[in-house]
Amino acid sequence: MLFHVRMDVHLPTDLDPEVRADIVAREKAYSQKLQREGKWPHLWRIVGEYSNISIFDVESNDELHDLLSGLPLFPYMDIKVTPLATHPSKVRD
């Protein structure tokens, strides 16, 4: 199942710099692991924002929920998920 996911990050301005650096490092490692596994095949930064647009390829809604809630930045995110379906006009490979 494919999902379009927008993630907007809102870290507190008074967050300890060492805590911030740790969370961001763990986020990067976790996201890269999911990318290597093929579960997070597309990741794009939104210019000028601490946000991204991603495509996830997972088996179920529950799997996506588990992956997203496992993100170290999850407590600081607003997330919008849109399920995707094949468009009938898509040119197939």
Q: What is the mean pLDDT of residues 36-61?
A: 98
Structure tokens given for 81 = 């998920």
**pLDDT at 72 exceeding the cut of 80:** yes
Average pLDDT, the chain: 97
Per-residue pLDDT reduced to its tens digit, 13-48 = 999 999 999 999 999 999 999 999 999 999 999 999
**pLDDT at 93 exceeding the cut of 70:** no
Structural domains for the chain = 2-84 (3.30.70.1060)
